[in-house]
A and B are shown apart, each in its own frame.
Chain A
């Protein structure tokens, strides 16, 4: 007899949830700790039920499966269950435990469960950065950031973001006076952003270029960016060069 495993089921289609529940529920040692029909409920159910394995559909309302994976705690082993094969590569990039194509045989799902169980026991963790990078379509930049606040999820469109700020292991997302903390490094986040819209002006700051009102010189070789809401962000020497190159490409940086 194996150890108990706690499982979360997420799919927006009821028949699909019924099937997962039927097959997984019949396995010994499996406890289904939650079911959700959308990404927001999935995150809430995960924070209440503390699953070790999550079975996620990808195409869902409000948050897609990758965004849900990004918001689950890294210890949760993720199995994607979808009719679309084009996401498989991305799923393995973020170290998903398995990728099951609909429709499937019960044995295939059991196999995925075994893999996910082993994954959650071994403690191999996917990096949230890789997951975030996979949440957007190939060749395109992110359009929004998702942030979890306890059981609550915030979806923040990038045009509402004023700047991102590194804070230890987290990135603070600053939008109109509010601040959201996201478990990710600033460098990894910056990679998903359009460099024409978001610029790294300092080791710890990535700013929405549209928000910059002016650049002030406040000491020798040291600048500050003044944003339209009056906030002042430090600008490093490299950051200043990048800023000049972006805002005035003809000057040659």
Chain B
């Protein structure tokens, strides 16, 4: 729908802006040798009102034909043809109006005089239409700029939220509490191991803090971070948790947003390995093919365990980040096949890499 008609409160100011047009039209028609001032006034007001609505139709061709280089001829032809049509409709409607007015004795001479004015009115109609086209292009440009601004600020909000979520994720409180509890246990039973775990935990925290400040890091660093996370978790889960990577040298060099894999690796432990008595292997595979990097995180899980909701949060976080960083260019899927959970990512590699 037309933007002026789409919202209440826009029509009034628009019609008010048309009032000077009515005055110009009166002056045009009442010029010496044409209509009398009274005739001109009676005719000009309803005709301006009518044109106010006819002129809005310029919005449709203006919207479907954006201004672009090399399309000048098409634009010119389209708008001239629609200007001629609109103006003809207008003049024709004016003739109808004149006939009705002629029923009043004072205006009986109007039809004959109107017939003489048709070329002038038609010309005015065409010019007014072209003016309306120009104004509509301005309106469209204005709306496009506003829409772009709105989309940009929405994206920014999304980016901030994703960043915040990532921040929260890297210091997952339960991970910390459980790790501290393990350290507390090991202090008595195995002080050397307790010390090692303190250092491991510190390593992971330090790495995730420094990595989080950068816009992109090589995949190898993201994997190193996952490794130090899993080293800490391994102290808790013992032999139940193992970690394997299969990353090609080309893949390891690709840039990824920092902490992109972290929620997925955490899910693999919390919703996968932790649900299994015998534990299992978290496997990360990555390879580059052409301009894309494909990453698969694979872990076994217990299909009979009651479902938990937190896993969904991690997946949502990854999706949000991918859409912020790559728009629609990245693909992400989570699959469950034969007791294995697969998280599959495919992201574009920037042209300069």
Contacts and interface: CB of A to CB of B under 8 A. Distances in A.
Interface of A: 12-16, 18-19, 22, 37-38, 59, 61-62, 64, 83-84, 101-104, 136-137, 143-144, 155, 157
Interface of A is mostly: loop
20 contacts: A13-B182, A14-B238, A15-B186, A15-B236, A16-B178, A18-B189, A19-B181, A19-B184, A22-B188, A37-B277, A61-B276, A83-B174, A83-B177, A83-B181, A102-B178, A102-B181, A103-B181, A104-B184, A144-B306, A157-B304
Interface string B283-322: 0000000000000000000101111110000000000000
Nearest to B185: A19
B177 A102 contact: yes
Interface of B: 173-174, 177-178, 180-186, 188-189, 235-238, 274-277, 302, 304-309
Given A15-B236, A61-B302, A22 B277 contact: no
Contacts of B188: 18-19, 22
Contacts of A102: 177-178, 180-181
B242 to A, nearest CB: 16
> Chain B CB within 10 Å — which of A15, A38, A104 has the most?
A15
Contacts of B182: 13, 15-16
Given A64-B306, A103-B184, A144-B306, A15 B235 contact: yes
Given A62-B277, A103-B180, A144-B306, A16 B185 contact: yes
Nearest to B189: A18
A12 B185 contact: no
Nearest to B238: A14
A62 B177 contact: no
Nearest to B309: A137
Nearest to A22: B188
A101 B186 CA distance: 18
B305 A62 contact: yes
A61 to B, nearest CB: 5
Contacts of B306: 64, 136-137, 143-144
Given A136-B306, A157-B304, 14 more contacts: A14-B238, A15-B181, A15-B235, A19-B184, A22-B185, A22-B188, A61-B275, A62-B305, A83-B177, A83-B181, A84-B174, A102-B180, A103-B184, A137-B309
